[in-house]
Amino acid sequence: MTPPLPPQWQVLPDDQEVRLDKFLASAERLGSRKRVATALERGKVFVNDVEAGLSDASRRLRAGDVVRVWMDRPGSARRRAGPFEFGQLQILFEDDLLIVVNKPPGLLSVPLPNGDRTPSVYSLLEDHLRGHRHRRPFIVHRIDRDTSGLVLFAKTLRAQEALKEQFRRREPERVYVALVYGHPTPPAGTWRDVLVWDKAALIQRETHPADPRGKEAVAEYRVIESHDDTSLVEVCLHTGKRNQIRIQARLRGHTLVGEQRYIYGPEAIRPIDFPRQALHARHLTFHHPADHRELRFEAPLPEDFVSLLKQVRRRV
């Protein structure tokens, strides 16, 4: 028995210039934006016999276009969302528009300037995408080389701009975990500073609120654990300045364990040997640039941070 043909619809003049996702979400077709997003993400949608992905959700249809949905297309039942490993990278999620990576400590987010060939998340993603329709990643935000955790890249310029606009509006939720010396007082509150980037020294510095070069830096914090001479702190960023958590903690006398740049006080009060700043980007929440659904990701602490916590807990 011949299997039934996938449903298809010809775009009539009344639907001229309607978005593809809106066209398919009508009650007589797929019935919801969520179902449309899933079909696009899994390669089930074709326009004029050409596969359409999530990046095509906002495409404006023309009269005469033929839209087909192949719901039982072989190989389309599973998402490419992840997680899966690619070299040093753990890719937590990937679709037509974006990639979320759990970055290990010691790996750059983006390449160094002047043609330096040191590996980075960006260069590894270039290798991953080679031969795909989307041939290179687009930077949305980054974390420091020795900071571990979640970092987000786009796969198209349009998706990059939409995601960066969310960051400019301070909409994404970015939560970090840091082990700091001392005990922040009060145990929960807001860090609010005006910072300026020192291009010569490549560090953030505190500056006067009236400084025209100054940029506001805001973060909420709360102490999760208190140890003998350290505290495990959760920090939620409202702004995303370079090295923000590291400098804001230091300005309050709470150098991060392992910190080599933003240091407070004599070396004797920082007795723990750790090869990097103890900072991990643990949670990231934002809205998908195509259908605006909320995406939430969590990266567990890496092994070196887990071992560090075991060490400080034994010191209590």
55 and 158 in contact (C-beta within 8 Å)? yes
Long-range contacts of 123-127 (CB under 8 A, 24+ apart): 124/86, 124/87, 124/88, 124/89, 125/89, 125/99, 125/101, 125/153, 127/86, 127/87
249 and 262 in contact (C-beta within 8 Å)? yes
55 and 96 in contact (C-beta within 8 Å)? yes
55 and 159 in contact (C-beta within 8 Å)? yes
Which residue in 287, 311, 40 sits closest to 140, CA to CA?
A: 287
286 and 172 in contact (C-beta within 8 Å)? yes
Strands 279-287 and 148-154: parallel
The partner residues of 85 in beta bridges, in order of sequence, read: 90
Catalytic residues: 144
CB burial of residue 268 (10 Å; 0-12, 13-18, 19+)? exposed
